[in-house]
Structure 1
Amino acid sequence: MGARPSIPDSINIDEIINNTGLSRKQISALWTRFYELDCGDRGETKGCKGYLDETDFGRVPKFDENPIAPRLIKVIFDDFGSDKKLTFPQFVTFMSTFSQCERGGHEHHHRLHHHHAKRRSSIQTLTTNNTPQMGSSTGTDVENVKYSADDTPKTRKIKFMFRMYDIDRDGRLSKEDIQETLKMMVGKISDEEASIIAEKVLGEFTNEQQNSTVSRETFEETLKTLDFMDKMGLKLLK
């Protein structure tokens, strides 16, 4: 077996630790994965570009089998990358969304403890098996779903999910957003079927109010009753 590739001196590991809360061991493991994915046009030479592009993500085993892979890639590069590229610090920031640790090296003593009974609902159609192996507030709807260094791990995961399903990226989930997501996930589904399911899912968040849209805050409050944290965690980062 070959030696594990070393992180270049040009990468500030201490800054990454401070920004993500991950350990040096976790960051080292992520560098190995990043290096293996960073290939040339033919997918042969490893660690050749210094960044990942969309093609590189297509090399993740079984990733292309996920029906929402194209949407997932778009959100990753839109939210964490720049110019359709993902540098190593950006890659780690994205991956840290699925960690169980606090971010920024700070201890958060305001962890949320909810003892709601676990329940299965149509919401879980949109919250499970589709992630890789992420009070009142001010600002616009779009601003309220931007990531913050003060976000708890659960909040970051919820924001990532929200942005996955917010197709038009207006900061609110509409029936049309949910319909488009269902079509990506299910494939062969009629507009009528998608509409019925979308209305049911939306009703879980809005108490069946007609033509309602869902804010990030409402989305988060509803998901607090669901056991989804382990489904959005990576063993590598635990």
Structure 2
Amino acid sequence: MGATTSIPNTINVNEIIFNTGLSKRQICSLWTRFYELDRDARGDAKGYKGYLDADDLGRVRKFDENPIASRLIKVIFDDFGSNGKLTFPQFVDFMSTFAQRKRIGHNHDRRSSIQTTTTTTKTDLESIKYSSDDSERTRKIKFLFSMYDVDRNGRLSKEDIQEILKMMVGKINDDEASIIAEKVIGEFTEDQPNTTVTLENFEKTLHTLDFNDKMSLKVLK
């Protein structure tokens, strides 16, 4: 990539602005961060590859203290990357999930993914994909949903929740994890037995929670 902290001319900044709604200043700040994270196999030589891999994200300070760090990295690369790589536009697309401003390149009203799913009769897998029509809140909800959807089938099951619990808590037996997972699923499904949670259920339950600020980054405000 060369020893420069300036965004290369090969990257279309205007297109990124159009797709994400971020300002040029914000994108330049993200480039600095991207450049610092992009290292060689030894963790040296900034701006080495021109993309990020799982090792680059794993070197983020205090990331190794997060019990679900490996899950977070997997979701980032599955949802935003390609072939185990995260290019700068993909990195910005991911980071824009934690912005508060609307995306300005498209017609973004504040409709929820519930309405989108209902009017277009999308499948479970289609409904969880990020769309240019997503509001900033909907993108955050979809990201949270993806974190829990371990088998990536577009629905949250008791087994999905159990897997996340084991990552977060560590030493927890199957019976305890099962009981907690059933209670969590019950919160989203009104205690209906043997049910799974759709994105619609998930969003309906979270609609009263004001987590937009808590899931926003200062650099993107």
- Give ranges in structure 1 of 5+ residues lacking alignment: 113-134
Q: Does residue 82 of the first structure (1) align with residue 82 of the second (2)?
A: yes
Percent identity between the two aligned chains: 70
CA distance in structure 1 between the partners assigned to 2:66 and 2:110 by the alignment: 35
Correspondence for 1:157 among 113, 132, 140:
140
Tell me the residue number matched to 1:230.
Answer: 213
Correspondence for 1:209 among 165, 188, 192:
192
Deviations 1:42-64 (A, max 9, x none): 11100010000000001111011
User: Following TM superposition, by how much is the alpha carbon of 1:79 offset from its aligned partner in structure 2, in angstroms?
Assistant: 0.8
Q: Spell out the pairing of 1:38-187 with structure 2 (5 A cutoff).
A: 38-106=38-106, 108-110=108-110, 135=115, 136=118, 137-187=120-170
Q: Is the 8 A contact 2:68 2:167 kept in 1?
A: yes
Tell me the residue number matched to 2:24.
Answer: 24
CA distance in structure 1 between the partners assigned to 2:17 and 2:49 by the alignment: 23
Q: Is the 8 A contact 1:104 1:149 kept in 2?
A: no
Alignment TM-score, normalising by the size of structure 2:
0.93
User: Following TM superposition, by how much is the alpha carbon of 1:106 offset from its aligned partner in structure 2, in angstroms?
Assistant: 4.4
CA distance in structure 2 between the partners assigned to 1:51 and 1:83 by the alignment: 11
CA distance in structure 2 between the partners assigned to 1:110 and 1:46 by the alignment: 39
Alignment CA distance shift 1:111-1:213 (3 Å): closer
Q: Is the 8 A contact 2:188 2:197 kept in 1?
A: yes
User: Following TM superposition, by how much is the alpha carbon of 1:189 offset from its aligned partner in structure 2, in angstroms?
Assistant: 1.0
CA distance in structure 2 between the partners assigned to 1:70 and 1:110 by the alignment: 32
Q: Is the 8 A contact 1:51 1:88 kept in 2?
A: yes
Alignment TM-score, normalising by the size of structure 1:
0.86
CA distance in structure 1 between the partners assigned to 2:127 and 2:106 by the alignment: 22
CA distance in structure 2 between the partners assigned to 1:213 and 1:15 by the alignment: 38
Q: CA RMSD in A?
A: 1.6
SS of 1:219's equivalent in the other structure is helix
User: Following TM superposition, by how much is the alpha carbon of 1:40 offset from its aligned partner in structure 2, in angstroms?
Assistant: 0.7
CA distance in structure 2 between the partners assigned to 1:147 and 1:105 by the alignment: 15
CA distance in structure 2 between the partners assigned to 1:199 and 1:152 by the alignment: 30
User: Following TM superposition, by how much is the alpha carbon of 1:33 offset from its aligned partner in structure 2, in angstroms?
Assistant: 0.2
Q: Does residue 218 of the first structure (1) align with residue 215 of the second (2)?
A: no
Deviations 1:68-90 (A, max 9, x none): 11011111001111110000000
- Give ranges in structure 2 of 5+ residues lacking alignment: none
Tell me the residue number matched to 1:116.
Answer: none
Deviations 1:4-52 (A, max 9, x none): 8110000000000000000000000000000000011111100010000
User: Following TM superposition, by how much is the alpha carbon of 1:110 offset from its aligned partner in structure 2, in angstroms?
Assistant: 3.4
CA distance in structure 2 between the partners assigned to 1:75 and 1:20 by the alignment: 19
| Number of equivalences | 214
